[in-house]
Structure 1
Amino acid sequence: MTKKLRKAVLPVAGLGTRFLPATKATAKEMLPVVDKPLIQYAIEEALAAGIDEFCMVTGRGKAALVEHFDIAYELEATLRERNKTEALDLLEGTRVEPGSILTVRQQVPHGLGHAIWCARAFIGDDPFAILLPDDLVLAETPCLAQLAEAYYETGGNIVAVTEVPREHTNRYGILKTGRDDGRLVEVKGLVEKPAPDKAPSNLSIIGRYILMPDVIKYLALMERGAGNEVQLTDGMARLIGEQPFHGLRYQGTRFDCGDKVGFLEAQIAFALKRPDMAQAVHAFLKKYV
């Protein structure tokens, strides 16, 4: 039987150097898109996929990520005294079950694969999701919920994939593909950041994964790959042939919020989906286009 998916790992130890000076004293995952920080979008997406246990792989200066999901007694009391019911309602999305969020430290920046290995005790023998908060997906059905549905269909490893320009393959993990029905594609191989002329396809992995715990034994070897880092892609590649492995062409639009232009685009796209803001945003955009 396919084991129920209940756990998610969120690697959030990065320094956010591309957003300095804003991230000098603030975790990049706390940067807001409209009025919610990136980390809240990630947690809400995981909750929508039926996940109720979370592990944040953090670094120094990241305490605010956990505090965001704590109860702010003084703030809530003040809002009640002032009858700010709408503001209180906005805090509902920051509440999770007590004890559902754990943290582990990635003390040295040895890559994404190393970050996932740091969560090995939390993962145990269970399947688990990985969400990279920098990748924000605007979709009718949350991206991870789509991935979870495909996981229960296939009973194995599955990653969210999208087509990228051939000249950009050296920025991503790229699939070598097998059977392809237009939605699910069999993964025959994985290559981290291949040169365009050596890329086996232009299907790229984005920051959403559901993996079997067996990947940990390969990450534990601490083999260095691209960038002299422990690459998650290399660990996943070792699972191919041992277990089912598929890519899912998810429905939605992905924004790279680790990039300034992508982050700005996400602000506009998410604001335009808000009934309380869309008209005003449309109006001011005309002044700049």
Structure 2
Amino acid sequence: MVSPDKRSRPELRIAVAGLGAIGAKVVEALDRGIDGLVLTAVSVQNPEKHRSRLANLTTPPAVLPIEALVELADIVIECAPSTLVRSIVAPFVGCGKTAVVLSAGALLDHDDLIELAKQNGGQIVVPTGALIGLDAVTAAAVGKIHSVRMVTRKPVRGLAGAPYIVENNIDIEQITGPLKIFDGSAREAAKGFPANVNVAAALSLAGIGPDQTKIEIWADPALTRNVHRIEVESDSARFSMSIENVPSENPKTGLITALSVIACLRKLRASLRIGT
């Protein structure tokens, strides 16, 4: 016999803001079914563009402006341009709800959102995304981390249009071999490459902060994958990790990023959770 407190809980209502390469896959996964969750709403800048895709879902969600999502959902998944992070996250965490944030770099410019969540009982969740080993970095940060460095290597077209590239007049189309185009802090990297290195921001938030975390970015025309290598020195362990991510339809984003969000959602009501 199942005791009353073990019986099924109400489903968590999920909203997705943005239907690009990541958001579309998350919506499809929710529509196929994730235990304890139900997709209730989405927000897109051009609803007409996505009308047929949404109509083909088993249970089409409501299509709403960003400011209306909080009324229909307990959790919002931010899959939008970084400039929209505040308008997506603030309403949810401000009333004690949860925001899953992929544009982690924006949190470095809007760190007051973390305080807003704290004051109101809300939560900001940053999925592992295209990186590896954030559990290890988070654990090491309970002790003392001495240094964190990440080296990112990307195909040339994956860096096209980044503010740092434009501001420094770097003609990436003329790059013929591996070229280091940036070496600095995670905070600087997040500003210069907002669509490329959210992984750097997530790494810094898990460890020793955006100003102490060091980042190198290389453009390599021979690559077909986004490559990240992390090296950490701490009082509990010395470790290095590397991952080669297959790009999604958007060359700036790894395919595994969407899968990471789906895995994060599955953990919310899972009977067994693996990892910190």
Question: Is the shorter-chain TM-score for this pair beyond 0.5, marking a shared fold?
Answer: no
The structure with higher relative contact order (CA 8 Å, sep 6+) is: 1
* TM-score, reference length from structure 2: 0.32
* TM-score, reference length from structure 1: 0.31
